[in-house]
Amino acid sequence: MSGTFQADDFADLSAIAALPRLGSLALSADGTRLVTVVAELSPDGKTWQGALWEVDPTGERPARRLTHGAKGESNPVFTPDGALLFLSARPDQEAKPAEGGKAKDKTALWVLPPAGEAREVFRPGRGVERVEVAKQSGTLLLTAGAHPTTEFGEADEALRKAREDAGVTGILYDSYPVRYWDTDLGPAYSRLLTGTLPDGRLDAADLTDLRPAATARLDDAATISPDGRWVVHTERVDVSPSYGPRVRLRLVPTDGSPGRVLADVEGHSFMQVTFLPDSSAVIAVRVHDSTPERPWRNALVRIDLDGTVTELAPDFAEEAEHPVVSPDGAAVYFTSSLRGHQPIWRLDLATGDLIRLTATGAYTDVQVGEHHVYALRHAVNQPSRPVRLEPTEPEQTPLVLQAPGAVESLPGTLTEVETVVEDGRTVRAWLVLPEGASADRPAPLLLWVHGGPVMSWSGWSWRWNPWLMAARGYAVLLPDPALSTGYGPEFIAAGWGSWGAKPYTDLMAITDVTVQRDDIDETRTAAMGGSFGGYMANWIATQTDRFKAIVTHASLWHLDAFTGTTDDSYYWIREMGDPLRQEEQVRANSPHLRVADIRTPMLVIHGDKDYRVPIGEGQRLYFDLVRHGVPAKFLYYPTENHWILTPGNAKLWYETIFSFLAEHVLGEPWQRPDLV
């Protein structure tokens, strides 16, 4: 943790892997303690491990490490009396050797009191997935798995053991989806449990099962009211075989009484729910579900416990996300994309006045205290840092708090470019320029297309880090084409259901403007992208030979096949259409039909555990390139998913790309990475 990270360090992939990475933030009820998770390389260098660090909210003192578990820690949350709960698979030092059985390696709930050592609270046989605490009563809301045919606890444990003893791994589905990102859903599904924490311990026998078979959506589950009386959770409702489900909200009392539907609106879904401090209502994001004719649209809403839904900030043009209510209930803070940034907004609930709290940067993990707002701030030119903001000051520059992982300098500079395209929209991009780029030494250019597709280049990326390329002399163009967020709903609609049209022409237009700069070498260019960006890389390859090389990661290729094999087929059908009903639209946007037009050398990268864009897309793409005589290589990861998550494989990812680009863009001999 000693020393500082400098521009020269970006040339060393091992140094990048060792740089601490911040994620998650928790604020104590009295606002005096702030905790974040800092991930560092494990001793063997094969994974990143999280540890809890306490950050001084005043910014005066260095951060201090709180935990040292060999298995890492996550999900910090404070109880009203100042204890810190977290999740970890570390072994219980107080348990006897024979205790725990197979559960000993599962993720457990732990508590770290204000004074004393951390101790294990609860370790069910399938582990704890998530914990939340009622801010006033201290009631716990836990998420843990159980088989849908059994009660949580002994019955589920018996069934789990019977399956193991019989060598059974099969899963029988009678609902959709069956996968999520890199996880096979089932045979256990999430259950919601509530309990208390007397004397720092939680008795599993006191837990109340709130939901006998929770919907297997792992991204947006449930929240508990500050008084501990209510839980609101999402619930998928099947609409039709072609349209798929919508998501409604259920309100469940924690005393075991029957629950009821809180909000269910045709054509809409609800997510990201948080209670008001008096427990009388929730703030949520209501999503106008997409169709092939129009994109989805977010709206911030208040939902009273009687079911009354009131839209907040109806004139807000961007996509509101992650609402947080102030302790006095007077305001809601939320984030959105905005022209290459992700600011925090403050909405006054009494007057409706809306202010942009931050001037630049991208903010996550917003925590609102009585006197200050805290968050993690990152930007294209800065990794996540904990910051403190004034609660009502517009467009402020926050106070950066001391924490591990600071980057002191970069191997280049950051600027912006933009152009007006044919339909009058302004397309903008970040441009990373390497040190020394000039008219005398123009830099080769890499066009990097973001994923999503409904997102933007607004912050730091460990996986697609342009500064690693700048350290090797490349300029990197990070554009936001049609479908990108932060430019209003019309900008998203411009590319909806037609990825091969305006998203492509936007990318070419902003590239044309960029290569006109005298510090860019227009004769040495390449294009790259992952997920939607990988699709665009493939589409670009079918449309032009202007680039010397193309790198495509986790990319869509055969849209008809992809529709039925991705883990979220309904979302895809709601944009591009059903291949049987909107065949022309699907075929018009499927790059596989145009493989004969590809002339550019391509590097294909794909992980076998990628269920969002299944491995068959990468395999088919590589075979199609080979059989059409396109110079191609295939970097295949049997154990990785949509992202490359382990340090060694991430390093190999960059090394292979460096070599591929050096051969085709810089004219250097191909150099195979040592370990492949």
Sort residue 63 into left (φ over 0), alpha (ψ -120 to 50) or beta: beta
Q: Region 399-403: what's the mean pLDDT?
A: 98
More confident residue, 286 or 102: 286
Residues of the chain with CATH 3.40.50.1820: 412-664
Range 528-564 burial, b when 16+ CB lie within 10 A, else e: bbbbbbbbbbbbbbbbeeebbbbbbbbbbbbbebbbe
CB–CB of 588/539 below 8 Å? no
**pLDDT at residue 245 in the model:** 87
C-alpha distance from residue 460 to each of 20, 219, 335, 511, 615 (Å): 14, 22, 16, 22, 27
Among 15-24, 243-252, 321-330, the least confident range? 243-252
At 124, the amino acid letter reads P
**pLDDT at residue 1 in the model:** 41
Q: What percent of the residues of the chain are helix, what percent strand, and what percent coil, each to the nearest 5?
A: 20, 35, 45
Instruction: Please report which helix (H) or strand (E) contains residue 146, including its range.
Output: strand 140-146
More confident residue, 116 or 361: 361
Among 130-139, 505-514, 649-658, the least confident range? 130-139
Q: Region 274-303: what's the mean pLDDT?
A: 96
Q: What is the DSSP string of 412-436?
A: EEEEEEEEE-TTSPEEEEEEEEETT
| Residue 256: band (very low, low, confident or very high) from pLDDT cuts 50, 70, 90 | confident
| Residue 218: band (very low, low, confident or very high) from pLDDT cuts 50, 70, 90 | very low
Q: What percent of the chain has pLDDT over 90?
A: 85
pLDDT digits (tens, 9 = 90+) for 592-603: 999 999 999 999
What CATH class is the domain 412-664?
A: alpha beta
Among 271-285, 538-552, 563-577, the least confident range? 563-577
pTM for this model (two decimals): 0.95
**Integer Cα distance of 273 and 251 in angstroms:** 12
**pLDDT at residue 238 in the model:** 82
**pLDDT at residue 192 in the model:** 86
**pLDDT at residue 152 in the model:** 86
pLDDT digits (tens, 9 = 90+) for 322-353: 999 999 999 999 999 999 999 999 999 999 99
Q: Region 255-266: what's the mean pLDDT?
A: 90
CB–CB of 520/447 below 8 Å? no
**Integer Cα distance of 42 and 85 in angstroms:** 22
Q: Region 224-250: what's the mean pLDDT?
A: 88
| Residue 4: band (very low, low, confident or very high) from pLDDT cuts 50, 70, 90 | confident
Closest CA to 7 of 602, 588, 433, 430: 433
Mean pLDDT (the chain, rounded): 93
| Residue 267: band (very low, low, confident or very high) from pLDDT cuts 50, 70, 90 | very high
Q: What is the DSSP string of 211-223?
A: -SS----TTS-EE
Q: Region 83-103: what's the mean pLDDT?
A: 74
**pLDDT at residue 199 in the model:** 55
CB–CB of 74/24 below 8 Å? yes
At 40, the amino acid letter reads E
**pLDDT at residue 200 in the model:** 47
| DSSP structural state of residue 510 | H
**pLDDT at residue 95 in the model:** 65
Nearest-5° Cα angle at 340, 8 to 444: 45
What would the 3-class secondary structure string for 448-492 be? EECCCCCCCCCCCCCCCCHHHHHCCCCEEEEECCCCCCCCCHHHH
| Residue 404: band (very low, low, confident or very high) from pLDDT cuts 50, 70, 90 | very high
CB atoms within 10 A of CB 245: 19
Tell me: pLDDT of 236 over 60.
yes
Tell me: pLDDT of 243 over 90.
no
Sheet of 281-288, strand order = 268-275, 281-288, 297-304, 309-312
pLDDT digits (tens, 9 = 90+) for 607-622: 999 999 999 999 999 9
Q: What percent of the chain has pLDDT over 70?
A: 94
| Residue 3: band (very low, low, confident or very high) from pLDDT cuts 50, 70, 90 | low
Among 71-80, 243-252, 395-404, the least confident range? 243-252
